[in-house]
Amino acid sequence: MISADFGSLPNWGRSLISVEGIDELAKRKLQEVPERYVRSDEERPAMLASSFHQFDYQQNIPVIDMGKIAQAQHREEEVRKIGEACEEWGFFQVVNHGIPHSLIDSIKKIGKEFFQLPLETKQKYSVRPGDLQGYGQTFVVSENQKLDWGNLLGLIMSPPECRDMNLWPTEPAGFREKVDAYNIEIKSLTGQILALIAETLQLQPDFFEKKFGDAYQKMRMNYYPPCLRPDLVLGLSAHADMVGLTLLLQDDEVPGLQIHKGDQWKTVQPIPYALVVNIGNIIEVMTNGRYKSIEHRAVTNKEKARLSIAVFCAPGFTEEISPAPELIDEDHPCLFRRFIHQDYMDNYFSRGVEGKNSLYEYAAMKN
């Protein structure tokens, strides 16, 4: 158990086993994709093996103009669009969000530079057994689990006691300062978006913020090197974000994020300087299932590496999570039981990556 002051983290990484990573593969001149990365027929992305696949961006996720939220004559319409996006898609993009473009340019630049450093340098920041932070690859829990074609660097921003500065790269120069500056901006934007989401449901403006507020914020940079057969692999396995809300900065030039809608995987169109916002499992529970946490994944590209930067925000570990009473009535029976956030996280990490089903197994109301 952890102490209520977040003094230490539970041993969530204990099942991590060591596997040959993408870095090692990149050193070799591969003629084919190693078996451990080749997905089953059902999981393979339906795309051409050729390089720049033409994605169909028809009917893409809604785009919210934060500039309009500040204008009295447009506000109502834009807030309504947020509600619709959350209900229909669980995803939307925000533009005119006020985060300086120069900061976005520089966080992407240093992110790419970090992943291009020699392996020996990056390994100074490797994920240690039992930890959730550092440089490594996604969650590997079993010998026969398929591997993602990607690397990541995860850093906890808050609570401050969980910041592990030993894992914060000191190179490229300015890395720490830029990461800090970016995360401060994201935190402020997250607060605004949470208040707007609450407004779409006629909940108190601080309904989500008082649970998430200063609680837990983690940044994860995902780096997907080019892959000789993008049609066979996944950069990031299908999953639903277990947190409250995620803000993702995509690569402007290289698409890769796909969301599961209907029975299709839809590629999210990159919009320069936009942030992709998605509802996580905790908001799904708190809205009694009205807003859904949608499964998504990342695909790779044949010629170009892709960087994405996700910032996750979640409640404190000791918070109690349950659906808003305002969203429960005869027509909308309570779908989820009450639980402690940390118990849910323990359960999630003990299962490994298996989409979102575990939320229902864990928290669905049993009649």
Residues found near ligand OGA in the complex (CB under 6 A)? 220, 222, 236, 241, 248, 256-257, 296, 298, 308, 310
- Asked if 358 contacts 347 with a C-beta cutoff of 8 angstroms, the reply is yes
236 binds, options Ni ion, ligand OGA, none, Cβ within 5 to 8 A by partner type = ligand OGA
Rounded least distance, CB 72 to ligand OGA, Å? 35
Q: Which is nearer to Ni ion, 93 or 327 (CB)?
A: 93
222 binds, options Ni ion, ligand OGA, none, Cβ within 5 to 8 A by partner type = ligand OGA
- Report the C-alpha gap between 197 and 82 in whole angstroms: 7
- Report the C-alpha gap between 283 and 201 in whole angstroms: 12
Rounded least distance, CB 221 to ligand OGA, Å? 9
Q: Which residues bind Ni ion (CB under 5 A)?
A: 241
Rounded least distance, CB 308 to ligand OGA, Å? 3
Q: Which is nearer to Ni ion, 147 or 245 (CB)?
A: 245
Rounded least distance, CB 254 to ligand OGA, Å? 10
298 binds, options ligand OGA, Ni ion, none, Cβ within 5 to 8 A by partner type = ligand OGA
At 360, phi and psi to the nearest 5?
Answer: -70, -40
Rounded least distance, CB 243 to ligand OGA, Å? 9
Q: Which is nearer to Ni ion, 231 or 241 (CB)?
A: 241
Rounded least distance, CB 233 to ligand OGA, Å? 14
Q: Which is nearer to Ni ion, 97 or 296 (CB)?
A: 296
Q: Which is nearer to ligand OGA, 86 or 248 (CB)?
A: 248
Q: Which is nearer to Ni ion, 282 or 327 (CB)?
A: 282
- Asked if 311 contacts 275 with a C-beta cutoff of 8 angstroms, the reply is no
Over the chain, what HEC string results?
CCCCCCCCCCCCCCCCCCCCCHHHHHHCCCCCCCHHHCCCCCCCCCCCCCCCCCCCCCCCCCEEEHHHHCCHHHHHHHHHHHHHHHHHCCEEEEECCCCCHHHHHHHHHHHHHHHCCCHHHHHHHECCCCCCCEEECCCCCCCCCCCCCCEEEEEEEECHHHCCHHHCCCCCCCHHHHHHHHHHHHHHHHHHHHHHHHHHCCCCCCCCHHHHCCCEEEEEEEEECCCCCCCCCCCEEEECCCCCEEEEECCCCCCCEEEEECCEEEECCCCCCCEEEEECHHHHHHCCCCCCCCCEEECCCCCCCEEEEEEEEECCCCCEECCCHHHCCCCCCCCECCEEHHHHHHHHHHHCCECEHHHHHHHECCC
314 binds, options Ni ion, ligand OGA, none, Cβ within 5 to 8 A by partner type = none
Rounded least distance, CB 279 to ligand OGA, Å? 12
Q: Which is nearer to ligand OGA, 203 or 273 (CB)?
A: 273
Q: Which is nearer to ligand OGA, 178 or 220 (CB)?
A: 220
- Report the C-alpha gap between 199 and 79 in whole angstroms: 8
Q: Which is nearer to ligand OGA, 236 or 282 (CB)?
A: 236
Rounded least distance, CB 249 to Ni ion, Å? 13
Rounded least distance, CB 174 to Ni ion, Å? 27
- Asked if 243 contacts 312 with a C-beta cutoff of 8 angstroms, the reply is yes
104 binds, options Ni ion, ligand OGA, none, Cβ within 5 to 8 A by partner type = none
